[in-house]
Amino acid sequence: MVIKLENINKSFGKLKVIENISFSLSKGEKLVLLGPSGCGKTTLLRIIAGLESFEGIVIKNFKKLGYVFQEPRIIPWKTIYKNLKFVEENDKKIENILKTLKIYEFKDYYPNKLSGGMKQRVNLSRALVIEPDLLLLDEPFASLDIHIKWNIINDLLNEWRKRNFSMIMVTHDIKEAIMLGDRILVLSNRPSKIIKEYIISEKINEEKLTREIIELWTHEVKA
């Protein structure tokens, strides 16, 4: 087990955003938290990363944490290489990950010279260069073109096959969740709670699953 969350609750003042969420993640597992926009998915990731206070129990059994933020959070006055150097001292590791994610030739560029897709590759490189045990991904592909998105996802999956780290990704994109996850936890509208769990196998009927999840959310809104 890499991480275990028990009865996590979170409120901002009177606004309850997370209600009794519990789950655990095993080594090498890819878990997707799928929920509608604004349901508190990012807050849940921030709780795991230690950036947010909460009620409940989080048992952490990992050393290194990588976090792919929704917005790239790259230091504007440093080159791409130096941005990675900020989190990892080993030059060899930096060069390798830049090559793997196909941005080595841009290593001396400043962030403002990069496209959105490139910036997300830097964001992902920074998370992977530290060789994380657990990787958190906060809707990292939300603003990207479809072909760039799938290219980056492919590179990410290749890296995961090599290193076998665990992943938790939050998204509202059902297709993305099915593509990336071994297991999907469907979250309700705010206050966010787990309403359904799916184990993804090769046999899964993507269309049927998509319809089911949409129905779940629609039913939730009506209720």
Which residue is listed with tokens 């509202």?
172
Nearer to other proteins among residue 108 and residue 145 (C-beta): 108
- Binding residue (CB under 8 A) for other proteins from 10, 121, 126, 193: 126
Binding region for other proteins (CB under 8 A) out of 109-117, 137-145, 146-154, 161-169: 109-117
Tell the smallest beta-carbon distance from residue 195 to other proteins (Å): 29
Tell whether residue 62 is a contact of other proteins (CB under 8 A): no
Dist. CA 128–CA 147, nearest whole Å: 21
Dist. CA 52–CA 82, nearest whole Å: 28
> CB-based burial of residue 79 (10 Å sphere; 0-12 exposed, 13-18 middle, 19+ buried)?
middle
The type of residue at 32 is V
Report the DSSP beta bridge partners of residue 4: 24, 59
What residues numbered 64-83 form the site for other proteins, per CB under 8 A? 65, 67, 69, 71, 73, 75-78
**H helix and E strand count, the chain:** 7, 9
Tell the smallest beta-carbon distance from residue 114 to other proteins (Å): 11
Query: For binding to other proteins (CB under 8 A), which residues are involved?
Result: 49-51, 65, 67, 69, 71, 73, 75-78, 86-87, 110-112, 126, 130
